[in-house]
Amino acid sequence: MTVRDIAYVALGSNLGDRDVYLARARRALASMPRTRLMAASSIEETEPFGPVEQGPYLNQMVALETELSPRELLGELHRIEQAEGRVRTERWGPRTLDLDIVRYEQQTADDADLIVPHPAVNERDFWRREQAELRSLIARH
Ligand code: PH2
Ligand code: MG
Ligand code: MG
């Protein structure tokens, strides 16, 4: 059975032309199969968290109406990260584009490589702000 659900995906970039990476990512997310881009939050510049010294990020979140399962969506996100030129260096380190599944409205996952909701779903201030903004954008429709 196909489930039509709403997925919240976080975008982050702190290398290169960060705005362009986010714009290209939004376009790629909107053209995934069985998926519609419902709403996009504001873009926020944030101080880097974590153990690595690096430049500030641009962060944003989108809400997607999708029939993709969490596992299928993860595969699409990896494909988009690679297509947009992501080079993975160190864990937590700088990146041109990072796409993370924050949560689904109705589905969860608990695997070694995929935990939904994301363990930090309520921990990052900017993720909380972006989720609140998306909730009010979606509620208006
Ligand atoms: N992502 C990281 C590490 N540090 N800092 C900010 N401000 N925003 C991020 O998206 C971020 C980070 C690893 O994914
Ligand atoms: Mg991340
Ligand atoms: Mg990631």
Domains detected in the chain: 5-139 (3.30.70.560)
Average pLDDT over residues 3-15: 96
Are 87 and 23 spatial neighbours (Cβ–Cβ below 8 Å)? no
Q: What's the DSSP call for residue 77? A: H
Q: Report the distance separating Cα 37 and Cα 132, nearest Å.
A: 17
Closest CA to 113 of 87, 85, 77, 80: 77
User: What was the pLDDT predicted at 32?
Assistant: 98
Q: How far is CA 133 from the centre of its chain?
A: 15
Whether the CB of 57 sits within 6 Å of ligand 1: yes
Residue nearest to atom 10 of ligand 1 (CA): 12
Residue nearest to atom 14 of ligand 1 (CA): 92
- Mean pLDDT, the chain, integer: 94
Split at pLDDT 50, 70, 90, the class of 47 is: very high
How many H-runs (helices) and E-runs (strands) does the chain carry?
3, 7
Element (H, E) at 66: strand 57-66
Q: Report the distance separating Cα 37 and Cα 31, nearest Å.
A: 8
Ligand nearest to C-alpha 14: 1
User: What was the pLDDT predicted at 85?
Assistant: 67
pLDDT digits over 62-121, tens only? 999 999 999 999 999 999 999 986 766 677 888 899 999 999 999 999 999 999 999 999
Q: Report the distance separating Cα 7 and Cα 88, nearest Å.
A: 24
